[in-house]
């Protein structure tokens, strides 16, 4: 498979390198990687990331010295994505490749090998994190050993920003101070939001909320919360009748009035549970795609506010 993709890459590289072919857009929108971002005439680093959360953090650190493009199209689950030949062609000309890790993009390592770009700086954004074991029902496979949703934790996002900053400095050491300041500004905003909601969540009696998809374990770790979910970490498999019955019992006994769903996952399971217990359904952002055109900070603050609101009446 990798040999076949590498062969395709050689042919594509000849086309991309031909005079007058292709383009060098310098915007950081979430577009296809078939167009090459950045380049020698723009002064911006060519940065390829896997999905939207990585793009948001990379843009916060790189700002106008980085042209950031996501490989995974909006609406596509990063875990299930398979890179195309054009994606490998983009990686073959990129300066930096950023992926989350923890099994989120099982295809990332193979894509780097197939791209055959010896100067590519590869950043595993979750490196050094305290990974949470994946205990979700229905999730199987060696690449699903850990919950990958580190970016939904404010503390996790800080770590990822630091790793991404280090990657920028490795690729562009002359602008070290620029990347360090941008990273510091971003993590300071994360710290401010963390401190605000740490006090709020410490004050609530009820610490558990109910979701359709178990994506928020790292966020829970930030604030001493617990998520109870219908589906596992990767929203795969079906919950058992016993699991559903236990959730129904929990919701009724604890007066749960909100069941959360996620923008990247069908709300059907959340709605079915909500109907059973007489609750409403509210969406949360997982920041895997470009949801509603909002920034990372806007979406994570929305999630925190909605979770806090759902617990606030359960005193």
In the predicted structure, residue 67 carries a pLDDT above the cut 70 = yes
**Mean pLDDT (whole number) for 89-103:** 97
**Out of 3.40.50.1980, 3.40.190.10, 3.40.50.1970, 3.40.50.920, which CATH number does the structure's domain 2-192 have?**
3.40.50.1980
C-alpha–C-alpha distance, residues 281 and 272, integer Å: 10
DSSP reduced 3-state for 215: coil
DSSP class of residue 34 equals T
- Region of poorest pLDDT, from 21-30, 120-129, 283-292: 21-30
pLDDT at 74: 87
Q: Give ∠ CA 170-123-63 in degrees, rounded to 5.
A: 65
Report the topology of domain 204-312: Rossmann fold (3.40.50)
pLDDT at 109: 95
CB count in 10 Å sphere of residue 124: 19
Q: Is 108 within 8 Å of 123 (Cβ atoms)?
A: no
pLDDT at 235: 55
Give the strands of the sheet with 208-213, arranged side by side. Answer: 226-231, 208-213, 258-262, 280-284
In the predicted structure, residue 303 carries a pLDDT above the cut 90 = yes
Give 112 or 80, the one with higher predicted confidence. Answer: 112
- Region of poorest pLDDT, from 89-93, 108-112, 138-142: 138-142
**Mean pLDDT (whole number) for 119-141:** 83
**Mean pLDDT (whole number) for 257-286:** 86
**Mean pLDDT (whole number) for 139-153:** 78
In the predicted structure, residue 314 carries a pLDDT above the cut 70 = no
**Mean pLDDT (whole number) for 134-159:** 79
C-alpha–C-alpha distance, residues 235 and 212, integer Å: 8
In the predicted structure, residue 3 carries a pLDDT above the cut 70 = no
**Mean pLDDT (whole number) for 135-152:** 72
In the predicted structure, residue 229 carries a pLDDT above the cut 90 = no
In the predicted structure, residue 236 carries a pLDDT above the cut 90 = no
End-to-end CA distance of the chain, in Å? 56
**Mean pLDDT (whole number) for 245-271:** 85
Q: Is 117 within 8 Å of 94 (Cβ atoms)?
A: yes
Give the helix ranges, DSSP H, for 105-226. Answer: 108-115, 154-171, 176-203, 217-223
- The domain locations on the chain are 2-192, 204-312
Q: Is 286 within 8 Å of 263 (Cβ atoms)?
A: yes
**Mean pLDDT (whole number) for 221-227:** 96
C-alpha–C-alpha distance, residues 152 and 299, integer Å: 10
Which candidate, 116, 104, 99, 107, places its Cα nearest to that of 167? 99
Give 77 or 67, the one with higher predicted confidence. Answer: 67
- Region of poorest pLDDT, from 27-36, 61-70, 129-138, 222-231: 27-36
E strand intervals along 13-92: 45-49, 66-70
Segment holding 61, helix H or strand E = helix 52-62
Q: Which two tokens stand for residue 192?
A: 């401010």
Q: Do the strands 258-262 and 280-284 form a parallel or antiparallel pair, or are they unpaired?
A: parallel
- Region of poorest pLDDT, from 85-99, 157-171, 219-233: 219-233
Q: Do the strands 66-70 and 121-124 form a parallel or antiparallel pair, or are they unpaired?
A: unpaired
Same fold, 2-192 and 204-312: yes
pLDDT at 5: 40
Q: Which two tokens stand for residue 107?
A: 């295809």
Q: How confident is the model at residue 143 (pLDDT cuts 50, 70, 90)?
A: low
In this predicted model, what pLDDT tens digit does every residue of 19-65 receive, in sequence order?
333 333 233 333 334 334 444 446 899 999 999 999 999 999 999 99
Q: How confident is the model at residue 197 (pLDDT cuts 50, 70, 90)?
A: very high
Reduced DSSP (H G I as helix, E B as strand, rest coil) percent helix, strand, coil of the chain, to 5: 50, 15, 40
* Predicted model pTM: 0.84
Give 134 or 210, the one with higher predicted confidence. Answer: 210
C-alpha–C-alpha distance, residues 285 and 299, integer Å: 6
Q: Which two tokens stand for residue 276?
A: 């059973």
Q: Which two tokens stand for residue 40?
A: 């020698």
Residue with tokens 């934790």: 153
């Amino acid at each position: 498979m990798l040999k076949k993709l590498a062969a395709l890459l050689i042919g594509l590289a000849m086309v991309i390198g031909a005079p007058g072919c292709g383009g060098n857009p310098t915007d950081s929108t979430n577009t296809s990687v078939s167009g090459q971002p950045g380049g020698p005439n723009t002064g911006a680093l060519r940065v390829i990331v896997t999905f939207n959360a990585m793009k948001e953090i990379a843009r916060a650190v790189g700002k106008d010295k980085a042209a950031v493009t996501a490989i995974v199209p909006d609406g596509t689950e990063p875990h299930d994505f398979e890179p195309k030949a054009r994606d490998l062609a983009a990686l073959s000309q990129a300066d930096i490749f950023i992926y989350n890790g923890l099994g989120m993009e099982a295809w990332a390592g193979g894509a780097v090998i197939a791209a055959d770009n010896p100067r590519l700086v590869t950043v595993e954004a979750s490196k050094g994190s305290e990974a949470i074991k994946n205990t979700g029902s229905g999730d199987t496979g060696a690449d699903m050993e850990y919950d990958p949703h580190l970016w939904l934790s404010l503390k996790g996002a800080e770590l990822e920003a630091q790793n991404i900053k280090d990657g920028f400095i490795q690729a562009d050491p002359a602008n070290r101070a620029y990347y360090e300041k941008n990273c510091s500004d971003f993590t300071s905003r994360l710290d401010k939001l963390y401190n605000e909601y740490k006090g709020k969540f410490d004050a609530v009696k009820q610490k558990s909320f109910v979701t359709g998809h178990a994506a928020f374990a790292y966020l829970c770790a930030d604030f001493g919360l617990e998520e109870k979910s219908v589906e596992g970490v990767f929203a795969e498999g079906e919950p058992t009748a016993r699991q559903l019955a236990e959730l129904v019992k929990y919701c009724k006994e604890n007066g749960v009035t909100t069941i959360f769903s996620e923008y990247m996952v069908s709300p059907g399971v959340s709605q079915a549970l909500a109907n059973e217990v007489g609750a409403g359904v509210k969406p949360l952002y997982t920041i895997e795609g470009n949801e509603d055109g909002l920034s990372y900070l806007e979406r994570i603050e929305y999630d925190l506010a909605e979770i806090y609101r759902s617990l606030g009446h359960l005193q």
